[in-house]
Structure 1
Amino acid sequence: MSELDLDAIEARTRAATSGPWFLDSDGINQAFVGNRADGRQHGLWEIVHMSGDKLGDLKPEFAEQHRDDAEFIAHARTDIPALIARVRELTPRVLEGDWETVRDALDALPEGAQIRWTTGMDNLPALAIRFSRGWKITGYYGSLSSDNIARDETPIEVIA
């Protein structure tokens, strides 16, 4: 899968007519998708009746597919923003910059937050978990302060 351009997807989402959207179909002739459920003249777009065919004239499996496609389009208005938010939530955030900025960002993370960085020792990753008095580092018996980590270990990824 190629890299997602979440900013571009989010911009297209913001530019689209506000939602939620609805599917309005008489089940025989037409299917409309739009942001209001009170009729075509109030913001519904015809998406199925692009030819002279009527849904009733189509084979049942094709008519059902048109309704399924319309339902998918209608839900995209709320599904896409939810997916963008979830992907952003799961994407590690990189902390870099001057050490004071990184330290302040580390201090702002909640207890239980997890970070990682690559150490200078054979490019091994280091993992740390935030607790009330600093950071517990895997394979290290003591703890480190945000100050110590920020001065020596950038860039740092916030992974949870």
Structure 2
Amino acid sequence: MTDIDLDRIEALTNAATDGPWVAHPDGLVWTEQPRIGDPVSGSTEIADAEFIAVTRTAVPVLLVIAEAARYVVGDRRCVEGDCDHAGEVDDNAADDAPCPLVETRYATAAELLAVISLLMSTDGDELGDDEEIPVGEIRRVLAEAVTR
């Protein structure tokens, strides 16, 4: 999959006309709030216009989901900056240099779905604030999701 520039998408989203947008049967896309001037976008195909209209509210939500899906992989000491791996790799590394063994990445859809299933109790309700999932169980489920 090609890397997605989330910062650029966010900038484009913030610069676009406020939404929500509405697709009209003529293929034009307008803001839901009346405004004077041109439509937000136009298309000769109503399906294209509907797609364009829904992106105005869907993209900000997808950006939040993408940011939430990013997580840090690494030993707790490395993540918290309490290791000296940077100094071991580079003698000139600053004392506060990040650990080169820590990886920040985005969860795959399979990993997210696997973890979501852990967050639900057997009756389908979300876990309560006082309920805990062992970290080892989360790691096991993630490992299984990666190998599928």
Output the TM-score relative to the length of structure 2: 0.49
Q: Which has the higher contact order (CA 8 A, sep 6+)?
A: 1
TM-score where L is the length of structure 1: 0.45
Structure 1 or 2: more helix by fraction: 2
Q: Which one has the largest radius of gyration?
A: 1
User: Which has the larger strand fraction?
Assistant: 1
